[in-house]
Amino acid sequence: MISLAGRDILHTWGKFVFTGIGLGLLIGVTLVMAGVYRGMVDDAMVLLDNSGADLWVVQKDTQGPYAESSSLYDDTWRGIAAMPGVASATDITYLTMQVRATNHGEPRDVRAMVVGIAPDGPGSAGWPPYLVAGRQITRSHYEAVADIASGFKLGDTLQIRRNRYTVVGLTRRMVSSNGDPMVFIPLKDAQQAQFLKDNEAILQQRRRTAENPAFNRPGVPGLLDAVIASQSTNNYVNAVLVRIKPGYTADEVAAPIRRWKRLTVFTRAQMQNILVNKLIATASRQIGMFMVILAIVSAAIVAFIIYTLTMDKIREIAVLKLIGTRNRTIAAMIMQQALALGLIGFAVGKITATFAAPLFPKFVLLMPGDSIAGFFAVMVICALASVVAIRMALKVDPAEAIGG
Amino acid sequence: MAAQGIRIEGLKKRYGSGDTAVDALKGVDMEVAPGEVVGLVGPSGSGKSTLLKCLGAVIDPSAGRMTLGDAVIYDQGWKARDLRALRRDKIGFVFQAPYLIPFLDVTDNVALLPMLAGVPNAEARKRALELLTALDVQHRAKAMPSQLSGGEQQRVAIARGLVNRPPVILADEPTAPLDSKRAMAVIRILNDMAKKYETAIIVVTHDEKILPTFKRIYHIRDGVTHEEAGEGRGFD
């Protein structure tokens, strides 16, 4: 038996191809949307992986350092390092801000997450685990390693708050959960960038403190200087990254830190839950809504096209029925056309998504599994969309071919 | 009565019921022998189309009896379980317009019927080509219907009606869109095919120019048929 659907498609291939391309662009957008979501999840996972930590110790009752602000004294790590099962404890700061590159033509602002890393050396928690160009930070101040997605180049000068930093190394796939590229600078510099006030504010604060009789007592020399000194120092970090010794579980190590240091400690699973299920939950729902709308629009387009194509063939369908064609042959013809349309659309969509994904500013991760699921979803949508046309075709009276 | 052919006895068809009931056929009697071509004429609304639909197993008659060859196909109800198979295997149709399937080439338009009946594609195409040769359109075998002239399309439609060797062919105004010369050619072909394949052919027509070619004509008026002898003049 010849394929009626195949012959009809060949006969009206132009209509099919152009409709398939239109549908394919919609499917491509849907696949890219799925890729955006996957990219967000992957960014979150990369953030956790590249931090090199087993535990995140943060300010009590906060969900820092990625989801909420968190402040700890920068000597907290010492006590944590002495806790059972702790292999290392490292201070770290995170600050998302506009970083300005100043030495290549026009100044250029890049949204980046500035990470302050403790001077423990490469391989320590928080440090970029690998570089694609240049070297790691070796000086205590004013050097930076940037993610290549920032667009910064080796030797670029970055303006972060009041200080300038030279890019000495480039790394890859070091991004925040929002997809912003990371810029690593020494911890002390990062503390200043995050907590140090500007000169005018410091002067104002000194004046206020000096005019406070509680701090400026005639009989207590040195008190005012001590208070001002404590106000001017920046001894806070956002979190302490902990690596645990072999043979210990994360929960075993986390429990005494929570109990004795009265701090909040997250294991990797908990931090993953915060990043994926809380931080990007709204965005993923938003993307999900878009995907549902796109699926409905795609189904409506397929249904409309197949319905129109079937309407154009009412007389032929009546003739086919009159000469003895079974209903299932006619239904199969219509459904095969819908599936062929879906196939063309998916192929165009997949190619479009593959070529368009790298052009997006944020990481778009096209998973083979999503493509396979998308393919079956498209086929199901097309099959369902053909139902209206099939119902109409089955209602066609073979007597219409005779007329009268 | 011959071994093949079609016989209709007391065929009735009523549309609706009660006060709004309309008797489209009030007791039609007809008999067409194998190899015979008869005309069926009548004014608009006389019941021609209804009779054709009943004969074509497209609508259910209300009463009567129809015999196709040796088999009774209707006697107060259809005897065949599968009317589609009955139409496909036992009844050929030729329409006013050819109604060829536009996305199939000429060969496949004709071969589709045997394929639907389960005949292998190669065998079905062979049968189709034989008929196309008999109808002198074999040179257009690979053409699409849109590339054919009106006369060629009608010949392909006749080939489609004949391809399953049905005992009866119902032709609904097959010459209506054609000029005199082509109309005569189509009627000649129908007569030739009827003789060659021992097929009974009923031609529904309004076409005055082809009426003299029939040896027998059934007139239908108000749902009743009257037989009369035709001139049987030939086709020139």
CA atoms within 13 A on the CB side of A362: 21
Rounded percentage of chain A residues whose pLDDT exceeds 70: 99
Residue in chain A closest to B121 (alpha carbons) equals: A1
Q: Tell me the pLDDT tens digit for each residue of A335-375.
A: 999 999 999 999 999 999 999 999 988 889 999 999 999 99
DSSP helix/strand/coil, B84: helix
Can you give the pLDDT at residue A390?
Answer: 94
Reply yes or no on whether the pLDDT at A244 is more than 90: yes
Can you give the pLDDT at residue B2?
Answer: 41
Dihedral sign (CA B110, B113, B115, B119): negative
How many other C-beta atoms lie within 10 A of the C-beta of residue B227? 13
Hunting for tokens 């809504």 — which residue is that? A289
CATH of the domain at B78: 3.40.50.300
Can you give the pLDDT at residue B48?
Answer: 86
Can you give the pLDDT at residue A165?
Answer: 94
Sort out which chain A residues have CB atoms less than 8 A from B101's CB and list them: 4, 316, 319-320
Residue in chain B closest to A315 (alpha carbons) equals: B99
What value of ipTM does the predicted structure carry? 0.82
Sort out which chain B residues have CB atoms less than 8 A from A325's CB and list them: 84, 88, 116
Can you give the pLDDT at residue B1?
Answer: 39
Instruction: Tell me the average pLDDT of chain A.
Output: 89
Partner residue facing B96 (CB), from A10, A325, A403: A403
Residue B98 lies in a domain: yes
Q: Could you list the residue range(s) of the whole structural domain that residue B159 is in?
A: 6-229
Domain count, chain B: 1
**Residues paired with A111 in a beta bridge:** A98
DSSP helix/strand/coil, B201: strand
Sort out which chain A residues have CB atoms less than 8 A from B157's CB and list them: none
Q: Kindly give the residue spans of alpha helices, DSSP state H, lying in B135-209.
A: 150-162, 180-197
Partner residue facing B102 (CB), from A316, A323, A397: A316
Sort out which chain A residues have CB atoms less than 8 A from B99's CB and list them: 315-316, 319, 401
Residue B83 lies in a domain: yes
Q: Which of B90, B213, B103 shows the shortest CA–CA distance to B162?
A: B90
Can you give the pLDDT at residue A270?
Answer: 93
Q: What is the mean pLDDT of residues A113-124?
A: 90
Chain A interface disruption, residue of B48, B58, B108, B119, most A CBs within 10 A? B58
Q: Are A216 and A148 in contact (CB under 8 A)?
A: no
Residue B148 lies in a domain: yes
Interface of A with B in 3-22 (CB under 8 A): 4, 7-8, 10-12
Reply yes or no on whether the pLDDT at A93 is more than 80: yes
How many other C-beta atoms lie within 10 A of the C-beta of residue A204? 12
Residue B171 lies in a domain: yes
Q: What is the mean pLDDT of residues A298-313?
A: 86
Q: Which of A400, A222, A247, A204 shows the shortest CA–CA distance to A320?
A: A400
Q: How would residue A403 be classed by pLDDT, with cut points 50, 70 and 90? A: low
Residue in chain B closest to A316 (alpha carbons) equals: B101
Residue in chain B closest to A320 (alpha carbons) equals: B101
Partner residue facing A7 (CB), from B53, B104, B160: B104
Is A402 in contact with B56 (Cβ distance < 8 A)?
A: yes
Distance from CA of A313 to the nearest CA of B (A): 9
Residue B216 lies in a domain: yes
Chain B interface disruption, residue of A319, A320, A321, most B CBs within 10 A? A319
Sort out which chain B residues have CB atoms less than 8 A from A1's CB and list them: 115-116, 121
Residue B39 lies in a domain: yes
pLDDT averaged per 10 residues in sequence order, chain B, 236 residues: 73 88 90 91 86 89 90 88 86 86 92 90 92 88 92 88 88 82 84 87 87 90 84 65
Residue B1 lies in a domain: no
Reply yes or no on whether the pLDDT at A118 is more than 60: yes
Reply yes or no on whether the pLDDT at A182 is more than 80: yes
Is B93 in contact with A401 (Cβ distance < 8 A)?
A: yes
How big is the CA angle at B225 (ends B221 and B227), to the nearest 5 degrees? 120
Q: Is A328 on the interface with B (CB under 8 A)?
A: no
What is the rounded distance in angstroms from the CA atom of residue A250 to the CA atom of residue A25?
Answer: 46
Q: Are A190 and A94 in contact (CB under 8 A)?
A: no
Residue B235 lies in a domain: no
